[in-house]
Amino acid sequence: MSHYIANLRDIEFCLFDLLGREKVMGIAPYGDVDRDTSVGMLEEMKRLCENDLAESFVEGDRVGTVFNKETGNVTLPESFKKSYKAYVDGEWWRLDAPVELGGMKVPPSVRWAMAEMVLGSNPAIHIYASGYAFAQVAHVLGTEKQKKIAKHMVEKHWGATMQLTEPDAGSDVGAGRTKAVDQGDGTWHITGTKRYITSGDADFYDNIVHFVLARREGGGPGTKGLSLFLIPKFMFDFETGELGKRNGVFVTSVEHKMGLNVSATCEVNLGEKEPAVGYLLGDVHEGIFQMFKVIEFARMMVGTKAIATLSAGYQQALLYAKQRVQGGDMKIMNDKASPRVTIINHPDVRRSLMVQKSYSEGMRALVLYTASIQDEIELAIQAGDKERAEDMEHLNDLLLPVVKGYGSEKSWTLLGTESLQTFGGAGFTEDWPLEQYVRDAKIDTLYEGTTAIQGLDFFFRKVVKDGGRTLGLLGKEIQKFAESGGVHQEEKQALVKALGDLNGIVAVLVGHAMESQSEPEKIYQVGLNTSRCLMAVGDIITAWLLLRQADIAAEKLPNAGKDADFYTGKIASAKFFVQNYLPHITADRKIVEATNGAIMEIPVNAF
């Protein structure tokens, strides 16, 4: 039986009942996709994921990658290659490829709904298939000649990597030492070493185009001196795509990891054996700006992967709890002759399952809400509404670190403390997929910027730099809903209270940031709490989306028929989340207000 159970019922509820995505379908730029078409695509993706893609999930982990040190090539298990081929042969790559090169224009909300299923069933499939999204970047930002690279990447199904990290420059990207020398003929020679490079090599690609950050000769220090180069594994004819000689970019090792073992995480050397020939993207030195187009996609992907894995863990835990017979009913547990019951009848198991249900469904709504904002950006651009497009872009920017940082942190924590725990000792064995979920999901809190970095990015770049405008507008929208009346008044008042506490947290941190201009050490009091602020924002948005779902469910419940349990569950999970998690924000506010810089004065040797 497949390890993966897609929650398509909830995905469709989010897309259509909560977010009303049918209203953006059938019109430019999404004229080829209506509701029926999107539902058909989702159903087919569910079938593919639960069968063809999920089939190699376990073997991919157990066998992993095989690295040939002599050639620098990576070989993957045959079963995984079969799954990857099923994805490509099904032409799902068209979801990410440029429309001009055979891609299909679908609303990002539908695209990420389908991505959730791929990432939940076998995440490495989606990761290796990122080359089509990279081709989009090359096509949009590249010169006319470089657009031909994008064309070959799509038509010949080449792979791609994003290369930022170096042995001595991880999160501090601006410390990178990889160098680029202009050859005067439109090419550059790049030298250096990159580390922790995802999908650095695979034997189902004929070629790979590496997107590499390097500092050109004469480029200044820090991130401003970095440029972005396209470096193919094999040189090729620009007109035909026919492969030529091996380029000077080689994988020198593959990391042995905690999880996600079928995804080749590589160390890559550039220019040691022979010149690594690259092309300056767009013929402009705007490396960080260009790379952030890739990073934004990657952060959305990582957050979606994390949340998809939590959903998969919850589905497994729920199935187990309904079948596993253990112990008697608590109210008559002293009666040794009482019948044994399934563990879903035990109070703490129910609590645990409701934690998993509320977070997985609430954070799915967070992902799809964020994706719906991406829908609106493209619609505004299409309509020539520059002001709305900018507002939506700012909101998307605000939400991305929440999707990635909050989504990954909550998912990883809950997979271990709740989903696996539901199984008891059985969850610690390889008999069930939970132990692999836990190992595979840990990377999500580290990929594309750790949770702490997401917190810093959220506060300084998305709140302070914006003057708090976008967060304030979102807060007003949440407040308006919470004060709208109707059902669930008690829960909505709790949301108002939590929103006020969040505003208090932000105000304290902004105050410390301003004080740091004359008292530099005050900035430490901000740094100690930016992750806490990010988590509070995530909980409030999640509560808001869950309560919106609960209102819809309450309206539909009287005539729900066979869907009555689904809607009852929606109401229950919203109430549970509000009652159990929003009170933490009040406590967080008190912690933030009481924070001082004492911890920064402790001698290093005292730790």
Residues known to be catalytic: 448
pLDDT at 325: 95
Read out DSSP for 326-366?
EEE-GGGTT-TTSPEEEGGGSHHHHHHHHHHHHHHHHHHHH
pLDDT at 335: 76
pLDDT at 170: 83
Cα–Cα distance, 83 to 76 (Å, whole number): 11
pLDDT at 337: 78
> Percent of the chain having pLDDT more than 90?
95
Provide the greatest CA pair distance for the chain: 87
Neighbours of 44 (CB within 10 A): 13
pLDDT at 540: 98
pLDDT at 172: 86
The predicted-structure confidence for 404-461, as pLDDT tens digits, reads as follows 999 999 999 999 999 999 999 999 999 999 999 999 999 999 999 999 999 999 999 9
Judge contact between 414 and 359, C-beta under 8 A.
yes
Closest C-alpha to 80, from 104, 105, 63, 100: 63
Q: Using CA atoms in the order 578, 360, 394, 95, what is the torsion angle rounded to 10 degrees?
A: -160
pLDDT at 555: 98
CA distances from residue 458 to 412, 465, 466, 468, 589 in whole angstroms, order as listed: 20, 10, 10, 11, 18
pLDDT at 423: 98
Considering the chain, what is the average pLDDT of its residues? 96
| Segments of the chain scoring below 50 in pLDDT | none
| pTM for this entry | 0.97
Closest C-alpha to 119, from 268, 252, 9, 11: 11
pLDDT at 273: 83
Contacts by residues 509-517 (CB-CB < 8 Å, ≥ 24 positions apart): 509/459, 509/533, 509/592, 510/463, 510/464, 510/468, 513/460, 513/464
pLDDT at 294: 92
The predicted-structure confidence for 288-315, as pLDDT tens digits, reads as follows 999 998 999 999 999 999 999 999 999 9
pLDDT at 218: 87
pLDDT at 338: 84
Cis peptide before 29 (omega within 30 of 0): yes
Neighbours of 70 (CB within 10 A): 5
Give the angle 435-426-47 at the CA atoms, nearest 5°: 60
Closest C-alpha to 299, from 153, 411, 445: 445
Enter the tokens of residue 579: 């009652």
